[in-house]
A and B are shown apart, each in its own frame.
Chain A
Amino acid sequence: MTKIITCVDGSAITSAVTEAAVWASKKLNKPLLFLHTLEKEQQHGADDYTGAIGLGARTVLLDEMTKLDEQRSKVALQLGKELLGYVSRQASTAGVGEVESLQRHGDLVDSINDIEGLTRLIVIGRSGKGHDGNFNALGSHIETLLRKASHPVMVIPDTFKTPVSFMIAYDGRETAEIALQRVIDGGLLHGLHCHLVSVKNNESNQNDKFVLAQQKLEGKGFNVTASFIEGNIHESLMEYKEAHDIGLIVMGAFGHSKLRQFFLGSNTLKMLERCKVPMVVLR
């Protein structure tokens, strides 16, 4: 059975991530899997600028570095274990039936990729350790994760409030169509009030598609408020969000080519950076 993969690292955001995961797990009726990865910090041995190499320089250095790594890893391993135990207990208390935890060495995104077959939804905080207090900075893994993950990713801000309504940004492009379809097929957002929002762009017959999308959602039993607005894409979306007290945003990831993003940036990332509500990014 596929699971809700929840990434925890022990930073301030962890409790919000746990709450969101519990909500998603109950909503989708899927087990929870807490994932903690031990990433290697590469900087050490940097206090020796002598440039001198003596007898057995290599073995001495190897011993020294192995010892440092060993100490650090042991502590990190223990801390991670305790963290996983803590969040698992929290989830069980909150009423989730099946809770598992997994600890892996190596890069977070690689670890998520390795358990791709088990994945239903990935829940992750918008930024982890090293970003505490600095709101606008996105975590270093988010972009890579969004590019590589083949499953929906829910990005959680500092605090989590159970959402009662969600907004889906619809631009008529293929990625938006896919996102729409996945909202309908999935179960996470059923029962929430849906705001279907489109910002005018140069996509041909955007209007017709928009109406079609609304009908599609309504046909599946969603309670839809549809709005067609004009202006700068994220400015207007943010304004709409504020005005209607939206609790969650759904977006299709990366509609543009990589080259274009390199020069102009990506709407998905801009929204992620500025948004203070959970976002579900669909591929």
Chain B
Amino acid sequence: MLEHMKRDWLSNIRGDVLAGIVVALALIPEAIAFSIIAGVDPKVGLYSSFCIAVIIAFVGGRPGMISAATGAMALLMVTLVKDHGLEYLLAATLLTGVLQICAGYLKLGGLMRFVSRSVVTGFVNALAILIFMAQLPELTDVTWHVYVMTAAGLGIIYLFPYIPAIGKMIPSPLLCIVALTIVAISLDLNIRTVGDMGELPDTLPIFLWPDVPLNMETLLIILPYSAGLAVVGLLESMMTATIVDELTDTTSDGNKECKGQGIANIGAGLFGGMAGCAMIGQSIINVKSGGRGRLSTFIAGLVLIIMVVFLDDWVRQIPMAALVAVMIMVSIGTFSWSSLTDLRTHPLSSSIVMVSTVAVVVATHNLAFGVLIGVLLATLFFSNKIGRLMMVKSDFNELENKRTYEVIGQVFFASAEQFTNAFDFKEAVEIVVIDLTHAHFWDITAVSSLDKVVIKFRREGATVTIVGMNEATETVVDKFGAHNDPKEVEKLFDGH
């Protein structure tokens, strides 16, 4: 236990501290930008990022992953804030935390296996597109100064790292913000700044209970939002955890992460922050900068709040154009560009799943709907594919006027019709034998279509015998637990 803690926290102090600082600097503009997306004061996002990062450093299930206020979550709360105000957002954040803790105890982290790779890619791409789209209001109806500033910002972010020696020592997004702020102040440009977007924090966050009536009405308002937030938060966190697992070649504890995120969100809600989750871009930045342990997440949160509280007069003057440049970088870094070239090589069905996920999200601005549609489509395509793994062979015996049908493969709701159509009811035969020894009947639909077939043959005057019924229907019984046992699986697929 103590050894574990030591390894998670102290095995990589130098790397974690440096990476934590880099992440904190990158988090500040993002937290502000996401607050603006959600329609709340920048301080809400900043407090939230601080609380979530610090709490999840202790209770999360994936050391080295960065969690804070995120775009995916911010996009879900826009209408709640618009219609009901900040207090309801805080209440929804608390409820989100409770739901996520329940998910952790119910071990729903394992449900991630039903989310296919194409849906994940679609989710990531949709997220990138939404973050980019959220920047557009800052780029419409503005003076040419803003365009020049944004372009210059992007130039600094992408070109500065190529400068030898110092290029890789200073975070380029930070440099972009500092440089553009200095330019804006010294030229006295009349462009929008962070200060125009709302209140910034000037103290540490303080404990406060959301000021909402505790009744059914409130619950009905916040529950739909909280459910969506909980689902999207866990999805993005689980996805990010897999990415970090893959990058660092280590493993994480999904259910602990669910509970940890719940606790972190409750913490954020009680200290005036909005709900958040793991961040794909920031976690990549963290790993890239050498962060591996819990310490890096903790340092990120701590440095963030120190910077913001003590430098609030400067943060106020950051031009929005600089933030827009940083967010464009985040959306470019988040988008899975290889998925575009993969469209040509991947099977059509997975491309359809990916594109539909993106389309639904962009249309509804709700990542949860996109994932739902994606998972549904992927399931349909899959059952269609498995449904085709069925064949009915037949053999006619003239002497006895007997036809033997041999059914091979998977019979279930998707292949039931195909199964029924494989029999020739018009043929005048006396004896029909249906051999099911090599078939699997997976559900009630399959069994009832067999009944239908038998009844039809009997109506035509044939005597029907069924062979191997027991073997075929063994799969109808819901024996999910037994499938982990190689012997049981062998028994199930015996003869194939």
Taken residue by residue from 38 to 69, chain A's Cβ proximity to chain B (1 for < 8 Å, 0 otherwise) reads as: 00101111111111111111110110010001
Contacts of A59 in B (CB 8 A): 338
Interface of A is mostly: loop
Q: Which residues of A contact B (CB under 8 A)?
A: 40, 42-59, 61-62, 65, 69, 143-144, 262
| Interface size, chain B (Cβ < 8 Å) | 47
A43 to B293, CA, bound (A): 10
Q: Could you tell me the distance between the alpha carbons of A53 and B292 in the complex, rounded to whole angstroms?
A: 18
CA distance A8 to B169 in the complex (A): 39
Query: Can you list 15 residue pairs at the A/B interface with Cβ under 8 Å?
Result: A42-B12, A42-B250, A43-B12, A43-B14, A45-B287, A46-B15, A46-B289, A50-B171, A51-B23, A51-B25, A52-B158, A54-B332, A57-B284, A58-B336, A59-B338
| Residues A56 and B338 in contact, CB atoms below 8 Å apart | yes
CB distance from A48 to the nearest CB of B (A): 5
Which residues of the other chain, A, contact B168 by a CB distance below 8 angstroms?
47-50
- A77 → B minimal CB distance (Å): 15
Known contacts A53-B284, A54-B332; A43/B246 CB under 8 A:
no
**Cα–Cα distance between A99 and B336 once the two chains are bound (Å):** 52
Give a binary string over B6-26; 1 marks a CB under 8 Å from any A CB, 0 the rest: 000001101100110011011
Interface centre among A40, A49, A61, A69 (most CB of B within 10 A): A49
CB distance from B445 to the nearest CB of A (A): 42
Residue B157 is within 8 A (CB to CB) of chain A in the complex: yes
* Chain A, Cβ-Cβ closest to B335: A55
The reply on B188 being an interface residue by CB < 8 A is no
Q: A53-B281, A57-B284, A262-B2 are in contact. Are A46 and B19 (CB under 8 A)?
A: yes
Q: A50-B171, A65-B247 are in contact. Are A45 and B22 (CB under 8 A)?
A: no
Most buried by B among A42, A54, A55: A42
- The CA of A279 and the CA of B482, in the complex, are separated in Å by 49
A52 contacts which chain B residues (CB < 8 A)?
157-158, 160-161, 171-173, 329, 333
Q: In whole angstroms, how far apart are the Cα atoms of A50 and B160 in the complex?
A: 8
B285 in the interface, Cβ–Cβ < 8 Å?
Answer: yes
Hey, which chain A residues are within 8 Å of B25, CB to CB?
51
A54 engages B23 (CB within 8 Å): no
How far, in whole Å, are A262 and B172 apart by their CA atoms in the complex? 44
Q: Can you add 17 more A-B contacts, CB < 8 Å, to A42-B12, A52-B173?
A: A43-B290, A43-B292, A48-B289, A49-B19, A49-B170, A51-B171, A52-B333, A53-B332, A54-B332, A54-B333, A56-B336, A57-B333, A59-B338, A61-B284, A62-B247, A144-B3, A262-B2
Contact: A42 with B333, CB < 8 Å? Answer: no
- Interface residues in B397-423 (C-beta closer than 8 Å to A): none
Would A51 and B249 count as touching, CB distance under 8 A?
A: no
Does B243 have its Cβ within 8 Å of any Cβ on chain A? yes
B79 lies within 8 A of chain A by Cβ:
no
